[in-house]
Amino acid sequence: MTPYELLAVVAVIGVARAILSLRPVVAGSSGRSTAIAREFLDPFIIAGIAAWVLITFVARTYYIPSGSMLPTLQIHDVLLVDKFEYRFHRPNEGDIVVFPPPVPTPDDFIKRVIGRPGDTLRIAGGTVYLNGKPLAEPYVAEKPAYSLEIRNYGIYVSYGAGWQRIEPADANVPPASQWSAPDRIPAHCYIMLGDNRNDSEDSHIWGFAQDSGRFESGSRAGTPGGFTGRAFLIFWPPSQAKIL
């Protein structure tokens, strides 16, 4: 249930509570309708408001619908997502993050933070090189079957038959004026990859995710970017329960 749906349910219960409270008191009833409204509906209203505050500002659940984060996250896992942490600092390398991607979709995506603003990044021979150093990635399902480079104010991908630039018409890649250097990830931009590298719709296809502002290009240009929160706990099913 989304925060808006929950708020709508609370509003309906509140209206019902108000109607019952305003009904004329029937002779001999001693105002029992008001007492019933308070006894049975008020706890639902209070609990609903508390839940709305929690899922809007603190934490919420997230269901895993696909295998793009295998083996770390299994299909049908249910996570807890911290919506509060990124109000104080930017995502860390390696964080598993829920966010709206720069492609049309009714749902948020969940991927791992690989590159952050100011980083240099390339993928060669199945290894990610971040700021010139190879990353140890024991969490990936298999090494990526593609190469990737951030250079010349763009993202370039190769599947073994030459390099292709990810076109801003199809992906979120800011104009050169917003880059601090031609080979460094621009401000507010992130490279997000799934742990199941060869079966993941991620930054090697749709470009950069953003921690704020509006997407600069691609099919969702002009719409807000941002991070919903950091996934920190698998709590269902119990056999999968663990801190991330």
The total number of structural domains in the chain stands at: 2
Which of 29, 66, 68, 143 does the annotation list as catalytic?
A: 68
What's the DSSP call for residue 135? Answer: P
Q: Are residues 110 and 131 in the same domain?
A: yes
Q: Are residues 53 and 68 in the same domain?
A: no
Q: Are residues 121 and 212 in the same domain?
A: yes
Last residue of a domain, one of 16, 34, 59: 59
| pLDDT of amino acid 201 | 96
Residue 242 is a catalytic residue: no
Q: Report the distance separating Cα 93 and Cα 115, nearest Å.
A: 7
Structure confidence at residue 238 as a pLDDT band (50, 70, 90):
confident
**Parent domain of 208:** 64-243
| pLDDT of amino acid 38 | 59
Q: Are residues 12 and 90 in the same domain?
A: no
Let me know how long the chain is: 244
pLDDT tens for each residue of 37-92: 556 655 655 555 545 445 554 467 888 999 999 999 999 999 889 888 888 889 99
Q: Which of 172, 175, 203, 180 is nearest to 119 (CA)?
A: 180
| Residue entry with tokens 């992130």 | 190
Last residue of a domain, one of 41, 59, 77: 59
Beta-bridged to residue 243, according to DSSP, are: 233
Which of 21, 33, 83, 111 does the annotation list as catalytic?
A: 111
pLDDT tens for each residue of 136-193: 999 999 999 999 999 999 999 999 889 999 999 999 999 999 999 999 999 999 999 9
Q: Are residues 128 and 41 in the same domain?
A: no
Q: Are residues 79 and 7 in the same domain?
A: no
pLDDT tens for each residue of 109-132: 999 999 999 999 999 999 999 999
Last residue of a domain, one of 43, 59, 75: 59
Q: Are residues 45 and 166 in the same domain?
A: no
Whether 9 shows a pLDDT value over 80: the answer reads no
Q: Are residues 14 and 96 in the same domain?
A: no
| pLDDT of amino acid 25 | 46
Question: What average pLDDT score do residues 30-43 get?
Answer: 57
Whether 204 shows a pLDDT value over 50: the answer reads yes
Q: Report the distance separating Cα 186 and Cα 116, nearest Å.
A: 8
* Spatial CB neighbours of 50, under 8 Å, sequence gap ≥ 6: none
Question: What average pLDDT score do residues 92-113 get?
Answer: 94
**Strand residues in the chain grouped as ranges (E):** 59-63, 78-82, 96-99, 109-115, 121-124, 127-130, 133-134, 147-151, 154-158, 163-165, 189-193, 209-210, 229-236, 242-243
Q: Are residues 48 and 137 in the same domain?
A: no
The angle subtended at Cα 87 by Cα 82 and Cα 91, nearest 5°, is 70
* Spatial CB neighbours of 174, under 8 Å, sequence gap ≥ 6: 186, 189, 208, 216, 217
| pLDDT of amino acid 29 | 47
Q: Are residues 141 and 235 in the same domain?
A: yes
Q: Are residues 20 and 78 in the same domain?
A: no
Residue 111 is a catalytic residue: yes
Q: Helices H, strands E: what count in the chain?
A: 4, 14
Q: Report the distance separating Cα 80 and Cα 230, nearest Å.
A: 8
Task: Enter the pTM of the model.
Answer: 0.78
Q: Are residues 68 and 55 in the same domain?
A: no
Please tell me which residue, 55 or 15, carries the higher pLDDT value: 15
